[in-house]
């Protein structure tokens, strides 16, 4: 399965693409889409959407995952982040790709095993899980890969196929 992870940001939107069977992961590519804080927000969103569309067309993922919005101290920053998330979700929907969202806690817990892990710990574990010689330099790209890894491991988890029977039903 090919998974496209997106770490949304108005100045730097990280992306990471992996191939995975749920246990073993291989990095296909990772990077950042950058935009200038001096540009109007609508032009930054347009640039992010155009770049994401190109990456989605080039890598043709089976699914995509984005980190859920977390509560920020600055409401204006949180609102701008929500705009970028909306653009990313639109691009994923346009590509007709399955979509999932994970909280920062879920991503860290899935990758590091601890939901309150620091950025450096996430970078180290992403490098380890992808068998890279060194951690990805960009925190945004590393976070996007972590989101993709989180989705890949969740997508392959066994799901209960039938509800548990009550004891009286089991005897019948």
Residue 19 annotated as catalytic:
no
Helices (H), 95-159: 104-111, 119-129, 139-155
Let me know if 140 is a catalytic residue: yes
**Rounded Cα gap, residues 118 and 112, in angstroms:** 9
Our answer to whether residue 67 is catalytic in this structure is yes
Catalytic residue, candidates 21, 42, 62, 140: 140
Residue by residue, DSSP assigns 63-90 as: EEEEEPP---S-HHHHHHHHHHHHHHHH
* Residues 6+ away with beta carbon under 8 Å from 137: none
Phi-psi region of 136 (alpha: psi -120 to 50; beta: other; left: phi over 0): beta
Is 5:145 a contact under the CB 8 Å cutoff? yes
Q: Which of these is catalytic: 67, 68, 94, 106?
A: 67
**Residues involved in catalysis:** 7, 67, 140
């Amino acid at each position: 399965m090919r998974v496209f992870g997106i770490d949304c940001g108005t100045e730097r939107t990280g992306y990471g693409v992996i191939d995975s069977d749920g246990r073993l992961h291989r990095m296909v590519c990772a990077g950042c889409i950058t935009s200038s804080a001096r540009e109007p927000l609508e032009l930054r969103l347009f640039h992010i959407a155009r770049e994401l569309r190109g990456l989605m067309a080039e890598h043709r993922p089976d699914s995509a995952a984005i980190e859920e919005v977390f509560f920020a101290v600055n409401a204006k920053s949180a609102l701008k982040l929500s705009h970028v998330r909306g653009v990313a979700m639109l691009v994923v929907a346009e590509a007709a790709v399955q979509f999932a969202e994970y909280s920062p806690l879920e991503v860290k817990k899935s990758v590091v095993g601890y939901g309150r892990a620091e950025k450096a710990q996430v970078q180290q574990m992403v490098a380890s899980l992808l068998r890279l010689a060194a951690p990805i330099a960009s925190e945004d790209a590393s976070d996007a890969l972590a989101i993709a890894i989180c989705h890949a491991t969740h997508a392959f988890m066994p799901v209960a196929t039938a509800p548990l029977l009550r004891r009286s039903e089991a005897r019948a």
